[in-house]
Structure formats: structure tokens, C-alpha cells
Structure 1
Amino acid sequence: MESNTVIMEASNNQQNNRGMNGTKLHSKDAKLSSESVPLKRTSVEIVAVTTPDENDARGTWSGKLDFILSCISYAVGLGNVWRFPFLCYENGGGAFLIPYVIILCLAGLPLFFLELSIGQFASVGCVNVWRICPLFKGMGYGMLVMSMFCCIYYNVIIAYTLHYLYFSFTRVLPWADCTHDWNTYNCVDSRHNETNFTSGHSRPSQEYFDNRVLGISDGIGEIGEIRWELAICLVLAWTIVFLSLAKGIKTSGKVVYLTATFPYLVLLSLFIRGMTLPGAIDGVKFYIKPEWSKLATSKVWQDAAVQIFYSLGAGFGCLHTLSSYNKWHNNCHRDAIIVAIVNCGTSIFAGFVIFAVIGFMAYDAGVDVETVVVSGPGLAFVAYPEAIARMPISPMWSILFFFMVLLLGLGSMLCMLETVITGIVDDLETRFKNIRKYKSHITLATSILLCILGLPLITQGGIYLLTLMNAFSAGLTLLLFGFMECIIIAYIYGVERYLHDITAMLGFRPSFYWKICWMVVAPLLLMFVIIFTFVSYNPAKYGEDYVFPAWAEALGWLMTASSILPVIIYAAIYLKQMERGPVMECLKNSMKHKSLWGPALAQHRKEAGYHILEQEEAENRLNACADDSYSSSRDSNDDPELALNLKSHYERTQMDGKADQEDASFLTDDIHARYKPKERLYPDIESAL
């Protein structure tokens, strides 16, 4: 990465100029990325030479693949494996792909591209990106709360996975039969026709999960004691997450090369192995057999919409965060399409993998496929492990499967926690200038805090809390935030203005398709899903039989409200702090974008038609890189002040580690040399120096 360089050229001293990296520079050879700003009454000329698209103060991805793989790793998660296949079977098999693809194109993909482009354009995370409409900055805080809830319970699922992975290193898998201490008299294994799955009998894999792993209690009111094996796994999971994010995107950008690619190798291996098993074809037919009549029901379209939004991950704030580390001219339009297609294709392919093995499981048990179909954690920790236990060389396949689940979980987990950390650091940087140097400490503190908050979820009643968090922490809120984003960009900020912004960034104007989706189609679809969520609401359940009591249901809605309340509270505080005036005038002004809104670097602001920020404003930018924007951030009439500010800036960057002592001394000496003869014209400069 080429370092940012400031060249100060005098007409009689051009051959002795030096950049911040200490190398000799000549004006006739230097390629200047911004216009020269001459100082009046002197021969001094200040020029900024910057590396295009680099924001060194905040950091950028090391390579193009880092970002794409991070998006794939985030979007392709556990839901692709354990939720989509079940929804496809439940909603008409192959016919379900029609509403799925339609909603992907009309709502999911447009919202995905919207979040990627706005994060890349402003180079800030999900909190300060709402400078575009300050009244709704609370939505960024709501996204952080939602992501924190997801981090808490998601890492508990990873802890389950680590437990299963560890106990897969054995000759006989412990959930393969009913000969263990945790099994009950109701446990039935092998092939006993329908006896395996009728009421009053249970699978060995179900008893292993309930009795051995969870030690499950009778309900959410009986929390019980901590399961210490799971506690160790939870600490290990958070340790892995912290080490992966210890140096921010520089480490996580490399981890995703494993989390985004290896699961496909495992899926392919499981698919090949599954298709060679007896009964696999029946399972696949059951998965893709179309029932066209179900397309006329609203539930099918609702399930397709919900799965699209949850799977792509729009609304969590993660996409703003990931794209904020892009180079400004990166083609996020292309990236959005690639990731959406990969995500959709993975879901469909995972269905073949899952149902091939479930078909074998049904054949082996002598029952119909629909008898053994389950969704959610039950698929990952009950049904699929039992099917694997019946395969030859079952420990090897179990290790591969749970390692794949681990990587899928980690990929999404890393992005969600990075969203939380970036949001915190970006926001604190407006008050504490050097806070970014302590980002690893903040990551450690946050990891410890969330690990402690996750302990109730690994008690004997913890699975009920996990189910409650999964149902309420990112349900309605996610859809509501997606709807608000479309309204803010399309109608408050202005879709034409936004298209102008990203045209400057991408180098081409996105087609009319994006405009009509942002303005009409996506908001309408989201509104439909939100309304239908209320209309078709059913009390939360764990499994088939346990219905949560009313107080637990209220606790779930409280989690939902905790993500929405920041929007209301922040808006109220913001309006109260504004100058008094007519209510409508205050409301209108509160929705105007701030002067700080726009690209981070000076040359990009110029390209997009934004004013160059003054020094004081630039220092308050969350992702300011003053080395890039400095020389073009002042008016040419302010040359004495410019010289003083340059001096103070480089003394500050010296302390921050951006410039070494030699560079700072050179610049100070150079200002002395240039302005000493002019002290009668500029007495304030000499006294300050």
C-alpha cells in the first residue's frame, strides 16, 4: 500500500523535497491527484499526493476477494442449510422457487445493493451512515442492539457445534444408539418400522441432544444450572471469534477465505456421498416435487420474503460495515449481484444435500420422508447427526459436517461482531480522537461482555431462551428497518440525488430497475410482510409441544422493542436539541443531511460534487484520513492559517504513529525556512513557530 504523501515545493528548492516516507520527490515526476493550491505573496505551493481510494486511517480490505468472500461468508449461514430446505418442502417444493426468485429480484437484491452502496459511499458503519438523515441515526443504534442479541445466541449455537465436533472424534458416535446413561426407556434405535417416530418413543439423537448436551428442563421457568461442558465450548467459541477479529479486517479478511470456501467442499462431499445412499432419490423428489396450488396462498409468499431478507442479512447493519472498508471506486453493484446469486444457489444446493440424507434416513427407518423432516437446530443437532450415524465411516462424516456448521456459523458471527465494534469505534471517535488505536481492546471487552451475557443460554433452560431470542431479536425489527431505509433514501434524501452519488462512485449510472425497486416495489413487499406478520402471528413454541407462557412472550416482545426504541428516543432528543421554531420547520431541518455526509476523502468528495470539509469538520469525521484531505481542505486565501494547521497536523500524526520524527521535523523546518523572510508580512506565523 502506497503511503500518503504531502509535498511542499518552492521554486528555488524543488530538488530537496521529501514525502512522508522519506524518499526524494521531484515535481515534474510526481503524479498529482488533486489541484495545486498556491499561497499568495510567496512562491510556496502545497500539493496533496494521495493514493486513490485508500483510507489508511480507517483501513481498507487487503484485496478485492476479501470483501466478496466476507459478504458470502456473512450471507451464507446456518439458515441456508437448516431453514431453506424445510421451507421449500413445506411450501410446494420446486414451486417455492418461483416466489423465492421473484422476491429476491424485486426486494432482496435491491435492498442488499442499497446497503452496500451507502456504506461504501460514506465509508462509515451502520451508525454514522445516517448522517444522510440525522433524525434517524437511532436506527443505527437499533441495528447495533439487534446485532448484539444475534451475537449472543449465535455463539451459543457455535458452542453446541464445538461440543458435537469434539465428541465426533470417536469410533462409535455417542448418539448412534440407546446404550448410554442419558438414554431413557423410550429410546428406540435401529429399524423398528414406525416405532421410531410414534408418540411415546424418541430417537437416540434427540435424547443425546436433550439429556446429554442440554440437560433440558421442563420449561423456561426452570433455568437450572450451567452446563459446564457447554460453558467451556462457549468460552472457546468467543476466543476463536476474538482472535479472528483482533486486528479488525486485516485478520477477519483472511479468516473468510476458510469460512466462505470450505463449506462448499463439505457440501459437495456430502452431496456425492448422500446420492449414493439408498432412498436418497426419494428424498430429493420429495424436496423438489412442485405443488403449484400453494402459489395461490399468501403464506408461501410471506415465507419466501422472510427467508430472502434473513438470508441476505439486510437490515442488520453488517452490509454497511463490510462495504465501508471498500475502496471508494469498488464496483459494489457487481458484488451485490454475485453475492445474491451465490447465496440463492447455495440454499437450493443445500436442499439437495439435506434431503438426500433425510431420504436415506427414512429408508433406513422404514418410514415416509415427511415423518423425519425437521427444521432449525433440530436438523443440525438431531436429524442429520442421526442420519450420519447410520453411514459407513460415520465419525469422518460427522467431523466434516460439524466443521462445516462451525465455519458457517463463524462466518456470520464475525461479520455481526465486527458491525458492533465498528459502530462503537466510529461513534466514539467523534469524542476520542485516538480511540481507533484501542480497537482490539474494545473487541476484547465486548467479547467478554457478550460471553457473560450468553451464560444463561447454556443453562438447563437455556434452549428456551435461545429459541425466544431467535424468534424475537431480529424478526419484525429487521423488516421494519429495511422498509425505513427504502423510504429514507427514495423519498427523504431523494432517489435521484442518491443515484447521482453512486454514479460518481461507480463510474456508471445504475439502471431504472434499481430506482423503481427502491421507490415502490421493495417498500410495498416489506410492508406486506410486516402486516402479514401481525395478521398471522402465533405464539412462540419450542419443538411441537412446548408453548411459551405469556410472561416469556412479553420478554420476547421487549427484546424486539429494545431495537426499535433507540430510533424513537434518539429522534426525540435530536429534535429537542434543535433551535426552537415552527414544528414542521424543525422536522424538515432534522431530516436534512449533515455537512459531514458524503465521501471520506477530499478527492472523492470533489468527484461526487461535495464541498471539501474544513479542518475542524474533517477531524470530527469518523473515518477521517487527514493526510488525504488536508491540502485541499483549505481555501487558498487562508494560507498563513494553512501553514500553521499543517504544522499542528503533522505533530499530531507524529504522536498517532502516522509520521515519524524525521518527517515532522522536516516539515517544521521547511515552514521556518519559507516563512522566516516573510515575518513582517505574517508576524503571527513567526510567533507561533
Structure 2
Amino acid sequence: MVYETSYECGRHPFKPDLLRGKWEQPHDFVFACLGLGLKLDVFSASYWYFYDMGLSGILPYYVYMAIYLVPLMVIHTFMGQFSSSGFISAFRISPFFKGMGYVSLALSSSVLTYYSLFASIPFLFAINSLKPTLPWSCEGIKDWPNLPNDTETICNISTSQVNESDYDNELFDMKMIHVPAMLFFKQQFEKLDMYIDNDVEYNMSFPIVWVTMLVWGLVSFIFYQFNEAPKFGKCLRYMVSITLGLLLVCFLRFLFLPGALSGIEHYVRPDFHDFIQGAASIPVFALQAFGAGWGSIMSLSSFNKFKTNIMSHSWFIAFGQLFIFMLFGLVSFMLLHYFKEITPENINRYMQSHWVLFIPSASVLASLEWANMWTFMYYTMLLMASVIVIVTQIFTILNSLFDEFEQLRQYKQEVTYGFIISLALCSLYFCSNHGVLYFTALSMDSLLVQALLHLLLLLVVLWIYGRERFQRDIKFMIGETFASWKINVLRFVAPLFLLFTLLTCVIVAFMEHSFSSSSIGFISIVLVITPLLYIPSYGVYIMFRNTGSFCMRFKRACRATDWYPLEMEDRQRYEEALGTNDLTHQLYEVTDDMVYV
């Protein structure tokens, strides 16, 4: 392989943004990536696939972490940090596959349209927690109009034995014990049933619409105040620290709930069935480490200084995200066992505790002393966690666009707010009962695309760009060697796990779509699946712009172009390290006086 400029390949040369800035402190990158671990949709409906695995199911995570999670983080971080550019321009490492960057752009944007739910729902409960009497408390539901008198809730659980012969179906005809917080959430819609599988009549929730607009207003305010990398990194540093602090406080308080200790015991108790279930499902969960879309770590690392130690940071981020997941898992288990503790042991009773981390938890908090304070604190924590994921995702998308399209750099403010407004309008669909019920199909589709992009990334970096060149660049950048055995594991073993993950995502996505509405299927095809066609299409376009035979066009389309460090001093040292054998040009600045093809 030789190294060329884009100009020599008949394309517009890449012009780096010298004013894009760096993180104020080196660990701002770590905090930003830890914030990606606050992606909480894993604890919603998709969490039912592996929520009961406990600590025994987490154990396989360490194997996956060593085999492909951390090494993949190193590759993502290497591409962003070495090129000082986002997830589109970083594919100068092999322009034929640059379409992966545009697929990532579409995927990250589509995920943000439904992810606003995880901010708007906590925002709704946080606002209502300011009322003197919580609407979902046992005192508050007495004032509800149109609530049938025979509605059995956790406030008036009957201790009488239910006659099993009264029900024909043991699973779906159980008598439901309602959680007031779930009833409160359903009241926001004309019709909403989280347990039916067929389409329901579409209707919007205007309270959810209002809080969703407030969420996007908050996001806009953050970008108005912290629009530059140093300021944004500082903002994330404090937001992540405060969120984790509030989570720890809530965790300690929940330890004193009835059934909390049995929940922790169930979480840490080894169980063979849970272990097998965890081993099969954790590869899917491991993809959550890369955020709501794909390429976020790549873009975040582009703001690192060139010598930042990406290997130690990748391990720290992986363990930090695992700690966050375990902490939220423990909170979920304690809440679930609280409901089990207060439910009579009748075979025909079923507690309505779906989405326990987000909705039923409000009724648990209502039972505490100083309920309003704890409710506001808990839902503020969930709100901040979701806003962190949203703003981080938008930040990486915008900077990737500005890196790739030079003409947009002078309109940063207009592009930023235009993009946020577009996301806000698209998110209105998920303020409906269909959006709340069926968004998990889009979530699983996004994980499917993530697994495919990771497979292609291994092909691009370790096979097309090459193992030796990758090791050489890592050595040049941080002074450490990426061991050959790790690369061989990534080349030959990790793809097997990713293929298994891809197959699992296909199966689960098929199940989700079989229960969702046709509109969600259409959205998935347009926003998630169709963009995959851009990868081969862009590759063919790049080949068309080159000259020579088919094989020569393909080879030139796969060569790294404009692949060098941003800083002139590092760039000159890189040229000296490479020598003249790998180069067909001098690494120089391309000025506006050049003629572009």
C-alpha cells in the first residue's frame, strides 16, 4: 500500500479544522465515554431478554471485554485521535469504506429521535414531584376521577385467595395488581396498554409532547453555553459526576426498602441458568458501551492530544461502564423485589412492574419519608443521564459534519440549532402510544447495524489497512506496542463473537417487529436499514473517480489518503518514521491555490 493525497486520487483534499480545539483536561475524554454508559434503554423492554442474569451473568462480560470490547475501543480511539477528525473523515484510512461514516451519521441521528423518551419520562415525573401530594401516591390516587372502585393497586391489595378456575389462561388472564405510577403514566394517553401485542389506535400524549420540547430546549441551552470542546468537556465532567453521585445516594437509600436485601442476594447468587442466559446475551449488551449510535468514541477521541494513552483509557472506560451497569442493575433488582415483597403469593396475581427503573419506581419512592425530595432527586438523576447521552451524541455528529464538510464550519451555530430542531420534530412521533410501545424495535435494529459496522471496521483496519501499519501507527502515537496476539484475536476470534451477536440481534429484532406497528417498520427501513446501501454505493463512486483497470481502481480506492497527524511537528516526524518507501508525496499543506478535480 502507498500513501496518497486525495488530490492525487482525483478528489477534493481533506482540509483539517485547525480551530476545532482539544479537551481542557485529559480525563474529560474518559468522562465523556463514561457518559455513553448511561444509555438506559437497555433497562427498558429490551432488558427483559437478560435482566434476570444477575452477577453470574455479568461474568462472561469480562471475557468479551478482553476479546473484542476493549480492543475495539482502542481501534475507535486510534482512528479519531490519530486523524483528529470525526467518524466520517476518519475513514480516510480506507476511502472505499467511507460510507460507514455516513451510515453511522444516519444511525446516530435515528436513535436520537426515540431516545428523547428516556429524558421526557423522568422530566414528567420530576415536574409532578413538586406537587404537595404526589399524584401516584396512595393518597393521590384517591382524587383521581374515572378510576374504577374495584381497581386493585399496591395501596389496597386484597389478601383473599383468587380461584384459579376463574381464569382460562394462566399467563394472560392473571388478575393485575396495578402500580399507581403506571396508572398515572397511562393517563397521559387516551389508550395505552404495555402488555398487548397488536396495534392500538394511534394517539398522542400532549403532556409528553410538552416535556419533550422542554428536553430539547435544555439540550439547545447546553449547546448555546458550551459549544466548544473545552467547555463541553468540562460540562460533561460535572454532569457525569453529579449523575453518578445521585445514583449512589439513591442506591444507598434503596438498601432500606422491604425486599431490597433479597434483591441483592438474588443478583449476586450464582445460578447456572442465569449464567448461560448471560453468556448468550451479554455480547449484545457489550455493544451498549459505544453509545446510542456508532462512532461516538471515535469522534470524542479526536479531541485528545496526540500522545494520549488510549490503551489505559480504554480499559478504564470499559470497567467504569460496567460499574455503572451493575449499579443500575442492583437498583432494578431492589425495586423488583420490593414489589415481590408486598405482593401476596397467589398464583393468579401479577404486579404491573414493567419499566421498573423509570415508571413503577415512582410509587416506591412515594412510600418513603420525604417522598417529594427523593422522587425529585431520583428522576433528576435519570433525566441528567439521558441528557448526557443525547448531548454527547449530538456533539459527535456535529463535529463529524464540520470535519468532513468545510463549507459548514462558518455556519456552526445555524447547523447546530437546525439539527436540534429537526430531531425535536422527528421525536414527536415517539410522544405517542405507538412510539412508547414499539420503539424497542428500532433499538434492536440499531444494535444489529452496530454489530455489522464493527465487523467491517475490523476488516478495514486490520486487513485492508494492515496489521503492521496499524501497529506502527500506534507505536508512533503513544510509544506502546499493540501486541500481535491481540491483533490475531481481533482478526480471527472476535469476528465469531460479532457474528453471533449479529445473529442474536437479527432474531430479537424480528421478534420486536412482529409485535410492533407497520409505521415503526417503515421508520426502521428508512432510517436504519436503507443507509447500509450507502457503503457499497460510495465505494463504487470512489472507484469510478479513480483511473486504471478494475483491480487498480479498487486498490487505489482502499489506500489511505491524507492519513497523517494534524500537528505539523507530528506530521513531519511521521514522514521521517515512514521513510520514502511508503510515500508517493511529501506531507504538505494543500492551499486554496491548488486546482481541485
TM-score, L = length of structure 2: 0.84
For the Cα contact (< 8 Å) 1:99–1:300, is it kept in 2? yes
Change (3 A) 1:105 1:450: same
* Contact 2:287/2:447 (<8 A) preserved: no
For residue 146 of structure 1, report the CA deviation from its aligned partner.
0.5
* Residue range with higher mean Cα deviation, 559-568 or 500-509: 559-568
Equivalent position of 2:211 in the other structure: 233
Residues 266-287 of structure 1 show CA distances to partners (whole Å, capped at 9, x for unaligned) of 2221222121223211111222
Q: Deviations over 1:315-341 (max 9, x none)?
A: 611111101111111112211111111
CA shift digits 1:21-73 (9 cap, x unpaired): xxxxxxxxxxxxxxxxxxxxxxxxxxxxxxxxx98522111112322211111
Q: Which residue of 2 aligns with 1:447?
A: 420
AA matched with 2:296: C
Tell me the residue number matched to 2:259: 279
2:436 corresponds to 1:463: yes
Matches of 2:122 and 2:116, distance apart in 1 = 10
Shift in Å, 1:570: 1.4
Residue of structure 2 equivalent to 1:637: none
| Among candidates 488, 500, 503, match of residue 516 of structure 1 | 488
Which of these residues, 447, 465, 483, is aligned with residue 475 of structure 1? 447
**8 Å Cα contact 2:188-2:208 kept in structure 1:** no
Q: Corresponding residue for 2:552?
A: 585
Aligned residue for 2:358, secondary structure, equals helix
Pair 1:513–1:73, CA change in 2 (3 A): farther
Would you say 1:61 and 2:23 are equivalent positions? Answer: yes
CA spacing shift, 1:391–1:522, aligned 2, 3 Å: same
2:94 corresponding residue in structure 1: 133
Whether 1:244 and 2:236 are equivalent positions in the alignment is: no
CA pair 422-535 structure 1, distance change in 2 beyond 3 A:
same
The match for 2:154 is: 189
Q: Which amino acid aligns with 1:584?
A: C
1:170 match:
131
Give the Å deviation of 1:574. 2.0
Q: Does 1:222 align with 2:201?
A: yes
> Could you tell me which of 400, 405, 429 is aligned with 1:423?
400
User: Is the Cα–Cα contact under 8 Å of residues 126 and 140 in structure 1 kept in the other structure?
Assistant: yes
Q: 1:194 to 1:148 in 2, by over 3 A?
A: farther
Could you tell me how far apart the structure 1 residues matched to 2:593 and 2:67 are? 40
Distance 1:339 1:589 in 2: 36
SS in 1 for 2:357: helix
Higher mean C-alpha deviation, range 189-198 or range 62-71: 189-198
Deviation at 1:108, TM superposition (A): 1.2
- Give 1:324's aligned residue: 302
Distance 1:536 1:268 in 2: 32
SS at match of 2:154: coil
| Secondary structure of the corresponding residue to residue 556 of structure 2 | helix
Unaligned runs of 5+ in 1: 1-53, 621-689
Where structure 2 has 5 or more consecutive residues not aligned to the other structure, the ranges are 1-15, 163-172, 579-584
After TM superposition, the structure 1 = structure 2 runs for residues 591-670 of structure 1, keeping only pairs within 5 Å, are: 591-594=558-561, 596-609=562-575, 612-616=586-590
Cα deviations across residues 611-638 of structure 1 (Å, max 9, x unaligned)? 6533326999xxxxxxxxxxxxxxxxxx
CA deviations over 1:395-427 (Å, ceiling 9, x no partner)? 111111111101111111111111221122122
User: 2:175 aligns to what SS in structure 1?
Assistant: coil
Cα 1:511–1:85 change in 2 (3 A) is same
**Distance change in 2, residues 1:341/1:389 (3 Å):** same
Residues 539 and 553 in structure 1, CA contact (< 8 A), matched pair in contact too? no
Measure how far apart 1:100 and its partner are: 1.6
Q: Which residue of 1 aligns with 2:179?
A: 203
Q: Which stretch shifts more, 284-293 or 124-133?
A: 284-293
Residue in 1 aligned with 2:538? 570
CA distance change for structure 1 residues 227 and 373 in 2, over 3 Å: closer, same or farther?
A: closer
SS of the residue 1:616 aligns to: coil
C-alpha distance in 2, partners of 1:117/1:618?
29
* 2:419 matches 1:413: no
Does the 8 Å CA contact 2:398/2:416 hold for their aligned counterparts?
A: yes
Instruction: Map 1:286-325 to 2 at 5 A.
Output: 286-293=266-273, 295=275, 297=276, 300-313=278-291, 316-325=294-303
Q: Which structure: larger Rg?
A: 1
Task: Trace 1:8-407 onto structure 2 (pairs within 5 A).
Answer: 56-79=18-41, 89-91=51-53, 93-177=54-138, 178-179=141-142, 180-181=144-145, 183-184=147-148, 186-190=151-155, 192=157, 198-212=174-188, 216=192, 222-224=201-203, 226-246=204-224, 247-293=227-273, 295=275, 297=276, 300-313=278-291, 316-367=294-345, 378-407=355-384
The whole-number CA distance in structure 2 between the counterparts of 1:66 and 1:258 is 10
Cα distance change on mapping 1:126 and 1:618 into 2, 3 Å = farther
The answer (yes or no) to whether the contact 1:191–1:364 under 8 Å persists in 2 is no
CA displacement at 1:215 relative to structure 2 = 5.3
- Paired residue type of 1:604: D
CA distance in 2, matches of 1:315, 1:133: 21
What secondary structure sits across from 1:171 in the alignment?
A: coil
Greater relative contact order: 1 or 2 (C-alpha under 8 angstroms, separation 6 or more)?
2
Instruction: Please state if 1:547 is matched with 2:525.
Output: no
Q: Tell me, yes or no, if the aligned pair for 1:193 and 1:367 is still in contact at 8 Å.
A: no
* Kept in 1: contact 2:88–2:98 (CA 8 A): yes
Give the counterpart of 2:456 among 467, 470, 484. 484
Q: For 1:250 and 1:441, how far apart are their aligned partners in 2?
A: 20
CA distance in 2 between counterparts of 1:204 and 1:275 reads 22
One-letter code aligned to 2:382 = V
2:370 alignment partner AA: I
Q: Deviations over 1:85-142 (max 9, x none)?
A: 8666533x33212212211221111111210121001000000100100011010000
- Name the CA distance, whole Å, in 1 between partners of 2:259 and 2:554: 64
Q: 1:220 to 1:140 in 2, by over 3 A?
A: farther
The CA distance in 2 between the partners of 1:80 and 1:465, in whole Å, is: 14
What amino acid maps onto 2:403 in structure 1?
A: D
For residues 237 and 338 of structure 1, the distance between their equivalents in structure 2, rounded to whole angstroms, comes to 30
Q: Secondary structure at the match of 1:335?
A: helix
SS of 1:461's partner is helix
1:353-412 C-alpha deviation (Å, 9 max, x unpaired): 23223323322334599965966xx12332222222222222111111111101111111
Post-superposition CA distance 1:592-648 (Å, at most 9, x none): 111x1121122112223366533326999xxxxxxxxxxxxxxxxxxxxxxxxxxxx
C-alpha separation between the residues in 2 aligned to 1:504 and 1:85? 42
More moved, 549-558 vs 570-579: 549-558
SS at match of 2:400: helix
Change in CA separation of 1:529 and 1:77 when aligned onto 2, cut-off 3 Å: closer
| Residue 221 of structure 1: how far off its partner (Å) | 6.4
Code of the aligned partner of 2:391: L
Amino acid across the alignment from 1:563: P
TM superposition shift of 1:190: 1.6
Give the secondary structure class of the aligned counterpart of 2:493.
helix
1:498 equivalenced with 2:470 (yes/no)? yes
Across the two proteins, how many residue pairs are aligned to each other? Answer: 550
Task: Work out whether residues 176 and 389 of structure 1, in 8 Å CA contact, stay in contact via their aligned partners in 2.
Answer: yes
SS across alignment from 1:97: helix
